[in-house]
Structure 1
Amino acid sequence: METRDSHYWPLYGLRITTPRLELRVPDVALLDALAAVAADGVHDPAEMPFSFPWTDGTPEERGRSTFQHVLRTVAEWSPEKWTLSLAVLCDGRVVGRQDMVTSDYAVTREGETGSWLGMAHQGKGIGTEMRAAVLHLAFEGLGARAMTTGAMTDNRRSIAVSRKCGYRPDGETVLAVRGEARTLRRMRLDRAGWEAHRTVPVEVHGLEPCRELFGLPRESAPFRGTG
C-alpha cells in the first residue's frame, strides 16, 4: 500500500521500519484497512484491557470509531499537543496501531505510548517490535528524556512487553471502567533503560521535514537514523 508524501502534512512521509514491520501515519485507504482490523476484534469481549472501553459495540461501530479517531488526531494536531497514531504493517498487511501521545513535548521531552493488535496477530512478538519502533523514534529521533505507558494489572502481555523494553513500575491508579473499579499499573522508561534494553534494529525515514510539527527545530537533537 503506497501513499504519496504531502508537502502540507509531511507526517505522511514518516516511516519507521523493523525487520518485520513498517509503521506510518495512515492515509484514507490504509486507515480503512486499520478500521477493518479493529472491527474484527482486538480482545476477548469478556475482558476490557483499556481504560476507555472503545471496543464495546458492534464491529461496524468499532471500525467507524477507529477511523474517526485517527482522522481526529490529524485534525487536532498542534506542536504543543499531539497524538502520533501509526498503522502497523507486518509483511505489508495492517495488523494494529501504535500511538505516542504528549503535550508540551518541546519542554518536557516526555510522552506516553499506547497500542493494540488485531486478535489474529497476537502472540507473535509483534507487540514488542512495534513498541521498540516507536521508542526508537522517541529517544533517537525526537530526543526524549523518558516515556511512560500503562496497563491494567491483569493485562500480562502488555506488562511483559513493557518490562522487556526496560520500563520500570511507576505506581498504580484506580479507574472506573464499565462501572467497575480497575487498577492501572503505570510504567516509566528513561533513556538509560531504553539503551540497556535495545534489541530490535530500527530505521526511521522522513523525520526531518516533520520536526517542527513535533515542536522541535530542525537543527536540534541530530538524528542518526538507525539503531
Structure 2
Amino acid sequence: MEPRHWPLYGLRLRTPRLELRLPGLELLDELAAVAADGLHAPDRMPFSVPWTDGPPEAVGRAVFQHVLGTVAAWSAQDWTLSLAVLHEGRVVGRQDLAAREFGVLRQVRTGSWLGLPHQGRGLGTEMRAAALHLAFAGLGARCAVSAAMTDNPRSLGVSHRLGYADDGVETGVVRGEPVTLRRLRLDRSRWEEFRRVDVSVEGLDDVRRAQFGV
C-alpha cells in the first residue's frame, strides 16, 4: 500500500523475530482470521471486554471493524495504534498502543493478543517490547500503563519481565460477574533498566508531529 494520505501505514517496528505494522485490508483479513480461529479456551475470559464471545465469524468481523475504526477515529489528542504482529511473514496477533492527550501527559497504555497456536513462545513479550520502544524511545513517553486479570499469569508475567510495577487493583464486570484486575505501571527509568529486546523503527519521522502530536 502506498501510504500517501495515511503515512502510518509506512510505520514499521522490527524485533529479532517480529514485524509490527498497521494492517492494510489484506493483512487485516489475516488478522481477523487469527482471532476467529481462537485466542483462549471458551471456559475462561482473559479480556475485560468479552469481545471474543460469539461465533468465529462474528469475532473476526469485530476485529476487522475495530481496527478500521481506530484509523477513522484517529486524532493527535486521542489515538489507538492497532498493529498486526507478523512472525516469519504470517500474522500471529495484534499489539495496541494508545493514548489520550499524549502531547501533555506523555502516558500510553497497551493491549494485545496472540492466536492460540502462537502462545507460550515469548512472542508476547517481544511484541510489547516493540510497542514500548516506540513509546519511550520514539515518542518520548514518560510512562506506560496496563492491566490484566489477576488470574491471567501470562499477561502479568510479560508485564513483570518488562519492568512494570504493581499499581493497585480495580474491580470490573465480565460476563455478568465481578472480576479483579491488577493495574501495572512502567516509568522511563524502569523501562531503560529492563529493556532487553533490540527494536528498530522505520517511518516514524513521517508521522510523529502530524499524527502523534509530538
TM-score tier by shorter-chain length is: over 0.9
Are positions 1:110 and 2:107 aligned together? yes
Deviations 1:158-178 (A, max 9, x none): 000000000000110100110
Q: Which runs of 4+ in 1 moved over 3 A?
A: none
Deviations 1:109-163 (A, max 9, x none): 0010000000000000000000100000000000000000000000000000000
CA distance in 2, matches of 1:190, 1:45: 35
Are positions 1:5 and 2:32 aligned together? no
Deviations 1:79-123 (A, max 9, x none): 110000000000110000000111000000001000000000000
Partner of 1:82: 79
CA distance in 2, matches of 1:122, 1:155: 13
Partner of 1:215: 213
Q: What is the deviation of 1:8?
A: 1.1
Within the candidate set 71, 84, 92, 2:68 is matched to 71
Q: Over aligned residues, Cα RMSD in angstroms?
A: 0.5
CA distance in 2, matches of 1:75, 1:55: 22
Partner of 1:152: 149
CA distance in 2, matches of 1:109, 1:42: 31
Deviations 1:189-208 (A, max 9, x none): 00000000011100000000
Q: What is the deviation of 1:215?
A: 1.2
SS in 1 for 2:211: coil
Partner of 1:96: 93
Partner of 1:169: 166
Q: What is the deviation of 1:6?
A: 1.1
Are positions 1:136 and 2:163 aligned together? no
CA distance in 2, matches of 1:107, 1:181: 34
SS in 2 for 1:55: coil
Are positions 1:193 and 2:172 aligned together? no
Q: Which runs of 5+ in 2 are unaligned?
A: none
TM-score (norm 1): 0.93
Q: What is the deviation of 1:25?
A: 0.2
Q: Which runs of 5+ in 1 are unaligned?
A: 217-227
| Equivalence map 1:32-43=2 (5 Å) | 32-43=29-40
Identity %: 62
Q: What is the deviation of 1:28?
A: 0.2
Partner of 1:219: none
| Equivalence map 1:51-70=2 (5 Å) | 51-70=48-67
Within the candidate set 25, 28, 31, 1:31 is matched to 28
SS in 1 for 2:159: helix
Q: What is the deviation of 1:5?
A: 3.4
SS in 2 for 1:45: coil
